[in-house]
Homo-oligomer: A and B are copies of this chain.
Amino acid sequence: MIVGIIGGGQLARMLALAGQPLGLEFIFIDPGTGISAASAGQHWQGEYDDPTLLRRLVAAADVATYEFENVPPATIEYLAEHMAVFPSARALDCARDRLHEKSLFARLGIPTVAHRAVNSRADLTEAVAVLGLPAVLKTRRLGYDGKGQAVLRDMADLDAAWQRFHGTDLILEAFVDFGRELSIIAARSRSGDIRFYPLSENVHDRGVLAYSRGQPADARTEEACRYMASLLRELDYVGVLALELFEVGDRLLANEMAPRVHNSGHWTIEGSETSQFENHLRAIVGWPLGNTAPLGHTALFNCVGYLPDPVAVMKIPGAHWHDYRKPVRPGRKVAHITARAADAPGLEAAITALKALLPGHVLG
């Protein structure tokens, strides 16, 4: 069976590496050269909405998916008319628009960050009056890794932020003084079966995920699973969905969701009976989902803008090296390291060794 993926970055690469043992083959549509996924399937070079490539994909592939939510909507609409594509256009639309996703959260009774749509300068003033300062002005679409957003600390910041972003749809969100950042990842099959992964506790550095740790016994697990289940059912979702959450006091606020495999779940390759990548593929192909039980204690370090010495990484017991084969550029995710151990002290030892290895890492 052949899976078409829109995008050929590291998520597509890891999907293909998880899918090959299952007998799946892969085609990636991506305008880049020397893409991360190239060695794990066929790279069809071209724009994400290239009509010729999309027509060819319909003829060649059995099912299609995508590795990022900013795929052109017309691409998904065209594919959905001609072949199976998951997650659905509706799920993608909710996830790619911060206002739509927060409206969905509210409709399902999932607590979320206080927010207001901003379509004019007057809207911005009014939204600030309602939500107070500090607050965060964000583009509704095309934001990721902290891009497309500005923190407003006092009234003098409003004009600069408006100048920067006006002309695109905006949303103002209340500033959340959270305790922890968490995420939950789950897969839903074509037949409606749902499997949850353990929560991840996440640390960001300048808007980019730096560190995640699997938290199988987290006190917020039941609450997060409940929210995730209602989203999956409401959207009749097929594939892997990630939901980012803030812990504020003893409750969770939904921040945003991603209709795809998620960086905070990369530890599932070693740390779960079935990885998020394999379960996304099982779901979209129409196969039964695999067990998501954790295997020991696991943490994940992103390598953003630098590549550590792989030999030093591999010397650390329980460290697993994942090189995305991308040119190193500032702010770019080029590799990750999973640390796994049978027990908590073993994981702490690996984390300590990795921190010493990753210069200037956010965890110190």
Does B25 contact A39, Cβ atoms closer than 8 Å? yes
User: What are 9 sample pairs from A and B whose C-beta atoms fall under 8 A apart?
Assistant: A17-B21, A21-B269, A21-B321, A23-B323, A23-B335, A39-B40, A39-B41, A287-B311, A293-B342
- Does B273 contact A288, Cβ atoms closer than 8 Å? no
> Interface code A311-322, partner B: CB below 8 Å = 1, 0 otherwise?
100110110111
A361 within 8 A of B: no
CB distance from A41 to the nearest CB of B (A): 7
* CB of A229 within 8 Å of the partner chain: no
Known A295-B296, A296-B295; contact A22-B323, beta-carbon cutoff 8 A: yes
A residues contacting B by CB (< 8 A) are 13, 17, 20-23, 25-26, 39-41, 269, 273, 282, 287-288, 290-291, 293, 295-296, 310-311, 314-315, 317-318, 320-323, 325, 335, 340, 342
Given A17-B21, A23-B323: A288 in contact with B315 (beta carbons within 8 A) = yes
Nearest CB of B to A316, in Å: 9
**Which of A293, A311, A314, A323 has the most chain B CB atoms inside 10 A of its CB?**
A314
> What chain B residues lie within 8 Å of A282 (beta carbons)?
314
A325 touching B23 in the complex, CB below 8 Å, given contacts A273-B318, A318-B273: yes
Determine the chain B residues whose CB is within 8 A of the CB of A293 once the complex forms.
342
Could you say which of B20, B22, B311, B320 contacts A40, with CB atoms under 8 Å apart?
B20
A24 to chain B, nearest CB (A): 8
Chain B residues within an 8 Å CB radius of A23: 310, 321, 323, 325, 335
Interface hub of A282, A310, A315 (most chain B Cβ within 10 A): A310
Q: Are B291 and A317 in contact (CB under 8 A)?
A: yes
Contacts of A290 in B (CB 8 A): 314
Q: A295-B295, A322-B21 are in contact. Are A287 and B314 (CB under 8 A)?
A: yes
Q: How far is the CA of A287 from the CA of B293 in the complex (A)?
A: 31
Bound complex: CA of A340 vs CA of B296, how far in Å? 14
Least Cβ distance of A29 to chain B in Å?
Answer: 17
Please give, as numbers and ranges, the residues of chain B lying within 8 Å of A310 by CB-CB distance. Answer: 22-23, 287
Chain B residues in 8 Å Cβ range of A39: 20, 25-26, 40-41
Interface centre among A23, A320, A322, A342 (most CB of B within 10 A): A23
Q: In whole angstroms, how far apart are the Cα atoms of A39 and B25 in the complex?
A: 7
Q: How many angstroms between the C-alpha atoms of A322 and B19 in the bound complex?
A: 10
Question: In the bound complex, what is the Cα–Cα distance between A184 and B269 (angstroms)?
Answer: 26
Q: In the bound complex, how far is the Cα of B20 from the Cα of A221, in angstroms?
A: 34
Q: What is the bound-complex CA distance between A318 and B273, given in angstroms?
A: 7
Given contacts A17-B17, A25-B325, 17 further A-B contacts (CB under 8 A): A17-B20, A17-B21, A20-B39, A21-B322, A21-B323, A22-B321, A23-B323, A23-B325, A23-B335, A273-B318, A273-B340, A287-B310, A288-B311, A288-B314, A288-B315, A290-B314, A295-B296
Residues of B within 8 A of A295 (CB): 295-296
Q: Report how far A253 CA is from B149 CA in the complex, Å.
A: 69
Report the bound CA distance from A23 to B311 in whole Å: 12
